[in-house]
Structure formats: C-alpha cells, structure tokens
Amino acid sequence: MRSVRSAVALAGALALSLVAGCAKGGGAGAGGNTVTYWLWDANQLPAYQACAKGFEKENPGLKVKISQLDWDDYWTKLTASFIAGTEPDVFTDHIQKFGQFADLKVLEPLDDLGIDASDYQPGLADNWIGQDGRRYGAPKDWDTVALFYNKKMTQSAGLTPQQLNSLAWNPKDGGTFEKAIAHLTVDVHGKRGDEPGFDKHHVKVYGLATGGGGDGDGQSTWSSFAASAGWNYTDKKRWGEKYRYDSKTFQSVITWYFGLAKKGYMAPLTDYSAGANPANAQVAAGKAATALDGAWMLSTYAAMKGITFGTAFTPAGPTGKRATMMNGLADSITKNAHNKEGARKWVRYLSSDACQSVVGRYGIVFPATPEGTKAAVAAYGKKGIDVTAFTEPVTDKKDFRTFTFPITNYAADVFALMHPAMQGIYGSGRSVGSLDQTNDQINLILSQ
Amino acid sequence: MTIAPSVPPSRLRESGGDGRLAALFIAPALLGFTVFLLWPTLRGIYLSFTRFNLLTPAEWVGLDNYVRMVHDPIFWDSLQVTVEYVVINIGVQTAAALAIAVLLQRLTQSSVLRGIVLTPYLMSNVVAGVVWLWILDTQLGIGNQVIGALGFDHVPFLADEDWAIPTIALINVWRHVGYTALLLFAGLMAIPEDMYEAARVDGASEWRMFWRITLPLLRPVLAVVLIMTVIGSFQVFDTVAVTTMGGPANATNVLQYYIYGAAFGRFQFGYASAMSVALLVVLSAITFLQYRLTRAGQSDLG
C-alpha cells in the first residue's frame, strides 16, 4: 500500500480533483484554534485520534481536525490543495514524494523543532533532510520487509521455521532459498517444483507470490535480493545524481529473480494486479506458499480466514548479510499552513514518545521512537503476532543491512520510466540489458 | 503582357470603408483567437524551454527538454502507439463512413436513417469508453459472454498488449463514423444528379459510377474531412484515460496521455510543453502534406 506503485493513479484524475479539491479542501482554512491533519491509512486513524486527544489536553484551546483519505485520493487531493491554497496544516509524508514536494517548495522547514536524530530508530530522521540541508519531516513510523509463509504449506513441505529463517540465496543457482521455493511449488498433478516431471505451465501453488515488476524500488519484490548482493540504487546515500540500474550485479539479480517465474516457482506477471491480486491476495487464495511483504501488511495477513502464517527473515545474499528496505513516514508542515504555530506544536507532539507510545499500543504500525516501537511489539505480541522478522534487521547490524527508498529528484519520472521497463523484462521477456538505456535516460533527466 | 487595372477608383474608396467595418466584425473572433489560441501556443513554446512545476517560477533551461525528449524511449514508443492508433482509426473510419454515405445517397433519402447513423456521436467519449469497457471486460463483459457462448475463448480486448490499441481505435470509429458519414453525405449532395443520369444513359454500373463520378467529385470534401479527422485522431485521450490508463505496460500510452501524465501527474510542465510542441510540428507537417497531396483547395466541379 505504501509502495509507489499506487502513484500511477496520481496521474489518473488530477484534472477532476483540481475541481474537487477546490470544492472540498478537506476542512482546510479553519480558524486559528484548529490544526488540520491528513493521513491515508484508515487503520491508523483511531490511534492518531487518541493521540490528538492527548495533545488537546496538553494544549487547551487547540483542536486537531484529522481527515483520512485513501492513498490514491490522498496525493491527488494534496497536490491539488497546494495549487488551490487549501492545503492541510500538517500531513503524513512519504519519502518517495518528498523530493517532489521539496522541488515544489511547499514544505515548511522544521529545523527549530529540536528534532534529535538519536531519539529515533537509526536512519529515520536523516532521510527527511532536503538538499538544502534543512529538515522537512518529523519521523513518525517505520516498516521493513520479511518473508510471510503459509504454515500449513511449509509444514507439509517439511520446512521448519528455523530452516526458513536461515535461508540463503545467490544469483547463480538461487541457493537454499530457491530450493525451498521450488519445493513449496506444487503443480496440478501434485508434483513439487524440484521433482522430475514437474509441469511448470500448470502450477497449482507457487512457491513465491508475485509482487509485480517492482518498478524502480522493488520494495517488496527484488530489493532485498539486490541489496544483499551489495547493490545500491544510487551513487550517494541521499540525493544521489546517478542511478545504477545498469550495474551488472543488479542485472544479474533481476535475471535470477524474474527467472523464478520462468521456472514456474513464481506466478507470471499476468497473474499480478496491484489492485485486485497483490501478493497477499495470492497467499490468501492459497495460490502461493510464501510472499515477500511489508510490516504494514501484518494485520491483513492476520485477518486471513483459514490461513495461519509465519514470518521469516529475508534470505542472506552473496554479501553474507540479509537485507530489507526500511522505510519511514514523517509528518510535514505545509509552507502556507493556516495555523503554523499550532502545526508546530502538533508535529512536536506527534514526534514525541508521548504520542508514539499511544500509537504503538494499537499494534498496527511501528512508531519511530524506540519507546513507541517497544509498545507496538508488545501490542502485536498480545494479538499473537511475532514480529521478530521485522524488528531484528533494525537492531542487528551485523547480520542485516537496511536501506531506504532511493531519495532523489524526479522520483515520479524514475517511476514512469522503470515501471514499464521492469514489466517488459518480467512480462514480455525483454532483455535485462535494456535497463542500460532506461538508466541512461534517468541519469540524463537527473543531470538536467 | 501587361494587365490594365480594372478596378475603378470609386471602388477603391469603398473597399477602404469595408475594411474598417470588416475589422470590427473580425475583432471578437480575433480577440478569442489571440487569447485562447495564439497566446497559449506562444506560451507553450516558451515553457518548452524552461523547467516549470506550476508552483515555483519557470527557469530557463535552453534545449534540455528537447534533448531529454530525443533520448526518451517512452516518448518514441508513445509516438509509435499513437501512429498505429491513427492508421487503424482513420483507415477503418473513412472507409466505413464513405460506404455509409454512399449508401445513404444512392439508396435512400430517409432522414430517420441519417439520425440513427448519428446516434453514437450524441454520446460523450467518456461514456462511450466506459460502456465499451464494460461490454468488453474479459470475464464479465457481455461481449465476451457472447464470444464465450459461441464456443470461443474470451478475448482480453483492453487488457492485452496487442489487442488494446485496435480495440480503442474501433471504439472511436464506432462513435465517430456516423458524424464523418454525414459530412461526406453533405459533400455527396453537392454532386449534380444529372451526372448520374448521363452515366446511367450510357449504361454505367453503380460500381463504375462510384469510382468515376462520386469519388473524384467528392475529393475536396473527403480531403477536408480527412484533415479534420486525422488531427482529431492524433488527439486521442479520453477513451484511453477511461479504458486502459495507458496500460498494459504502456501499450496504449498515446502521446496525449503521456503529455498529460508528465504535466499533471509529475508536474513537468516544461517537458510536457516540449512534447506538445513536437506534436504540433508533427500535426502541421501531416496537415500540410495532406493538403498538398489531395489538392483540397481545388474542385473538379465546375
């Protein structure tokens, strides 16, 4: 849900929403005592409403008005609101959109909020510093990616949770990870993927669910593999000027990863649909035994009827480390906020332990502060969900590598170029070398 | 050989007076032309040399946008997709419209029939797109139900890379063919009936009359209709936006849709303007060529 994949829809209906944005404006333009706040995740709404109550108690006279809009509408309406001047005072910001908003100069610097990077899980606070060296976001929460598996299927395949937690892969033969995936694949005749006579064209259960082409980030598809092979998206950690989709390492990872589909261990691209049939739906339907998915999907998997799931670390790669993207959201204040003073207070409160512990107790997301994270882990535990596969990579730096979304300018253009390019390789069998041209074009745009 | 001025002096004075009156009559149209066509065009050309995101001031970047465009694989791809669409759309539409118009002229003069032919045109493109999207849906569409009932496999008309563009082209043919037919029919009405009578006296068949009388005499009207429909066809957008959103895998990412996405989706108004200028150049060239090749300015009637 947080993946940029949904950003396609941004282009979809802007003209319409320009009108709608003017008409509705999400309750902006309220008086001096109200702070308007937007978020997109409906699951998180109760948590932040509780947070707002605490804030209002601490700041008598100030009121927080929260509007929740679904992901697709959210960005369209938000962008339209900047143009129409009806923007919220504070909104939930995504790192993939940050570059564009910085470019549009619609964000208020937050340097004087006194945000200390060491108060949060490592790396989260630094991502929200713009190219001008100023801070534009206060860390809010984080998520990582792990391997979800259908316990019944792994058991019948004879794979123990310990085994699943110690898988390794490499781009040559796929290692123990590919072996496990192959063994979990079952064709219509009941033959497993690693047995002779396996019919790869008539597969009943795929070993690994498909998450599509992964676009430019591969958050819950190929990014764990590429990063554990030592690859980086760009030349610099933040605000890089050159992408590296032309790297031989990267291309070998992509060849291997989409090769899983050719071998029949992963569903073909045609079986994937971001809206109707994402990875979790394939698991829910019993069409896939495992899926790489994000922590934000935990409650979705937990709610699946008739399926008990487990989670395992992403497989260790050629570097010897396991890797996962660690993405974090932040709260940003808009430059033309109607109630800037109130907005500052609200963001300071949102980024404090006081609020993040409250949010954590709802067990729907990992808040950015260690205190908040602890509360969330406990809350998940109470629901019977073990989240070690998501939290361990953040604390264990020896065996794990975490990385963020590529933070560069022109993120939307990179998406527009990489989305069809990766689909072409996955779906229409285009050569992985074609990424060289796409990469050149991306770097040309970044150099301009 | 010299030609003596044939206009008497008094007439010159008169036309001076006409000029002022003419200017007055033209003024409203001229104002509209300047404000709504000339100025936006010039501003668009200016913006194509800038980096402009709508919220911060435009920044002059010279030819950067054009360099990017030349190297942009998606731009060339979408141009190719657009041309494919235009060829199918115009080819089928013109042939079908001509057939309908000739049948209307030669067989019946019924205005009810003429009205029926025009009905799809009364619908908006978006509505037509949505209705066809439902009809052609791979699983649930009634069109595919019929195909299934006839014992064939369902066809993913709008979900398959190879089918999508022809399908969209034919949806738009369905909507526009009646209108085009009516324009051609009007042109046919201008052909004098005595030509056909004379031909019939000479024993010519309907087929021969079509090729020897109808088509040559219809040429100027046909040419103008072609120029108009080709330009309109290049601007395909709404049907794509409603049915496929440019997909699957950019298979229907027509140029207008790509330009729209760059501007309103990714706030690259400079780059979008550069691509619009390219489209303007392509359209101007095609129109000029069509005009010259079909001698649209001259008539053989006369």
Rounded CA separation B170/B164 (Å)? 10
Q: Let me know whether A312 and A344 are in one domain.
A: no
Check pLDDT > 50 for residue B18.
Answer: yes
Judge if A208 and A293 occupy the same domain.
Answer: yes
Q: Would you call A354 an interface residue with chain B, using a CB distance cutoff of 8 Å?
A: no
Q: Which of A10, A82, A424 lies at the smallest CB-CB distance from B265? A: A10
Domain count, chain A: 2
Same domain, A358 and A310: no
Inform me whether the pLDDT recorded for A426 exceeds 80: yes
- Domain presence at residue A157: yes
Whether A401 is in a domain gets the answer no
Handedness of CA A115, A118, A121, A123 (dihedral sign): positive
* Model confidence at A276: pLDDT above 60: yes
Q: Each residue of A167-200: pLDDT tens digit?
A: 999 999 999 999 999 999 999 999 999 999 999 9
> How would residue B301 be classed by pLDDT, with cut points 50, 70 and 90?
low
pLDDT above 70 coverage of chain A, percent? 93
For B168-204, the pLDDT digits (tens) are 999 999 999 999 999 999 999 888 888 889 998 999 8
Q: In chain B, pLDDT over 70 holds for what percent of residues?
A: 93
B72 chain-A contacts, CB cut-off 8 A: 441
| Cβ atoms A156, A162 nearer than 8 A | no
- Chain B neighbors of A420, CB-CB under 8 A: 74, 249-250, 253
C-alpha to C-alpha distance for B241 and B263, rounded to whole angstroms: 15
Same domain, A39 and A81: yes
Over residues B211-229, the pLDDT tens digits come to 998 888 988 899 889 989 9
Residue A422 lies in a domain: yes
**Cis-peptide, bond into residue A109, ω within 30° of zero:** no
Amino acid at A39: L
Give the pLDDT of residue A202: 92
pLDDT interval class at A23 (50, 70, 90): very low
3-state secondary structure labels for all residues of A349-409? HHCCHHHHHHHHCCCCCEECCHHHHHHHHHHHHHCCCCCHHHHHHHHCCCCEEEECCCCCC
Q: What residue spans define the domains of chain B?
A: 73-294
* Residue-wise DSSP of B56-125: S--EE-TTHHHHHHHH-HHHHHHHHHHHHHHHHHHHHHHHHHHHHHHHHHHH---HHHHHHHHGGGGS-H
Structure tokens, A26: 């999400």
Q: Name chain B contacts of A79, Cβ cutoff 8 Å.
A: 267
| A399, part of any domain | no
> Is a pLDDT exceeding 80 seen at residue A12?
no
> Kind of pairing, strands A63-68 and A34-39?
parallel
> Are residues A120 and A259 both part of a single domain?
no
Are residues A137 and A150 part of one domain?
Answer: no
Is residue B152 pLDDT above 70, yes or no? Answer: yes
Check whether residue A282 and residue A429 sit in a common domain: yes
Instruction: Please state, rounded to an integer, the average pLDDT across all residues of chain B.
Output: 87
Is the pLDDT confidence value at B15 over 60? no
Instruction: Choose between A271 and A230: higher pLDDT.
Output: A230
Same domain, A135 and A271: no
Facing residue for A103 by CB, picked from B53, B249, B260: B53
The per-residue pLDDT for range A323-343, each reduced to its tens digit, is 999 999 999 999 999 999 999
Q: How far apart are CA A394 and CA A389, in angstroms?
A: 10
Q: How far apart are CA A224 and CA A98, in angstroms?
A: 23
**Helices B161-189 and B215-234, axial angle in degrees (round to 10):** 140
CATH of the domain at A333: 3.40.190.10
Identify residue A381 by its one-letter amino acid code.
G
Is A292:A229 a contact under the CB 8 Å cutoff?
Answer: no
- Quick one: average pLDDT of A284-303? 93
Q: What is the mean pLDDT of residues B73-84?
A: 92
Mean pLDDT over B97-120 rounds to 86
User: How high is the pLDDT of residue B2?
Assistant: 46
- Is residue A14's pLDDT more than 50? no
CB–CB contact B249 A427 (8 Å) = yes
Q: What are the beta bridge partners of residue A17?
A: none
- Chain B partners within 8 Å of A12 (Cβ): 241, 245, 265
Residue A21 pLDDT > 50: no
In this structure, the answer to whether residues A270 and A130 fall within a common structural domain is no
Structural domain boundaries enclosing A45: 4-143+328-393
pLDDT, greater one: A315 or A5 = A315
Q: Are residues A47 and A135 in the same domain?
A: yes
How far is CA A194 from each of CA A184, A186, A198, A217, rounded to the nearest angstrom? 9, 9, 7, 30
- Residue B117 CA to residue B110 CA, distance in Å, equals 11
- B73-294 has which CATH code? 1.10.3720.10
**Can you tell me the distance from the alpha carbon of A217 to that of B241, in angstroms, rounded to the nearest whole number?**
26
**CA-to-CA dists, residue B246 to A28, A53, B70, B93, angstroms:** 33, 45, 21, 22
Closest CA to A343 of A149, A140, A65: A65
**What integer pLDDT is reported at residue B134 of this predicted model?**
86
Residue-level pLDDT at B302: 60
Residue type, A124: L
A209 and A135 inside one domain: no
Same structural domain, A235 and A342: no
For an interface test with A, which of B74, B161, B244 has the most A Cβ atoms less than 10 Å from its Cβ? B74
What ipTM score was computed for the predicted complex, to two decimals?
A: 0.71
